[in-house]
Structure 1
Amino acid sequence: HQTGIVANLLDGDFLADRPNQKWAGDISSIWTAEGWLYLAVVIDLFSRRVIGWDVSDRMKKDLAIRALDMAVRLRDPAPGCFFHSDRGSHYGSHDFQKKLLAHGLLASMSGKGNCFDNAAVETFFKSLKAERLWRQNWSTRREATV
């Protein structure tokens, strides 16, 4: 058991019977003339809607925490809601894991080297990039955010 790594509790089951039963999160990057802009999202696997998000010029744990905080403020999930992510250091950080515990969320992480274990969020990013971001040029990170 590596530090910050938790079991894959969802085990590929991305279907949910009701809202706030299973959430998933990830971070992706968007190129601008100023450099990379990082987008963290939290998706409710019942509706496949983004319920929390944040952007930053740095991919740090605070980015993932702010997206999670937004989702918790919006949805106020009951204890026992799953939060699934990849094994990124931001999700495995002590601060992020402590935040999950404080909100009663059950941590679940993708299996080692298995890109399909977070397919729901990867699919969202693929659609976002194909429909809204590809072939776009932004001068600034702020321009890409709005």
Structure 2
Amino acid sequence: LPVAPNLLEQKFEADRPNAAWVTDITYIATDEGWLYLAGIKDLYTCEIVGYAMGPRMTQELVGEALFRAVRSKRPRNGLIHHSDRGSQYCAHGYRRLLAQFGMLASMSRKGNCYDNAPMESFWGSLKAELVYHHRYATRMEAMASVREYIEI
């Protein structure tokens, strides 16, 4: 699968909203199995601009998060979209979406979580403030809890 250059190079600054987004996938334990959460964060506003949840870590999951972000923020061409090298982000279909939206793909160096530190930091906060304090019986229960955390 194709890999994009690292356009951010750990310079996690933007001069305006919708100039650079970082994205990643995390997982949350439930009694039914894992719930996967794909999120997209704006580097200028620090807002989660798009997210999606589901039982599988797929290209469709990250695509849904991207569609939600684009629908809510309507970014201009040239936005830097930074991710790790996960297969979902390298997939041809996802890369085509980025091109259709006029986004510049950027990817972390292999195995370097520091290259996506702002998104990793958000996941750490979500888990420390919310997830580790709950035992979720169902994915739906976890989804409702995460939705409230992100949107409020």
1:66-85 alpha-carbon deviations (Å, 9 max, x no partner): 00000000011000000000
2:72 to 71, 74, 82: 74
- Residue 120 of structure 1 corresponds to 118
- Residue 141 of structure 2 corresponds to 143
- Residue 62 of structure 1 corresponds to 60
Q: Secondary structure at the match of 1:13?
A: coil
- Residue 24 of structure 1 corresponds to 22
- Residue identity opposite 2:66 in structure 1: L
Which runs of no fewer than 5 residues in structure 1 stay unpaired? none
2:27 is aligned with 1:6 = no
Residue 135 of structure 1 and its aligned partner are, at CA, apart by 2.9
- Residue 53 of structure 1 corresponds to 51
Deviating above 6 A after TM superposition, structure 1's stretches of 4 or more consecutive aligned residues are none
1:106-137 alpha-carbon deviations (Å, 9 max, x no partner): 00000112110000000000000000110310
- Residue 92 of structure 2 corresponds to 94
Which runs of no fewer than 5 residues in structure 2 stay unpaired? 145-152
For 1:113 and 1:125, how far apart are their aligned partners in 2? Answer: 17
% identical equivalent positions = 47
- Residue identity opposite 1:99 in structure 2: L
- Residue identity opposite 1:59 in structure 2: M
How many residue pairs end up in the alignment? 144
Q: Secondary structure at the match of 1:130?
A: helix
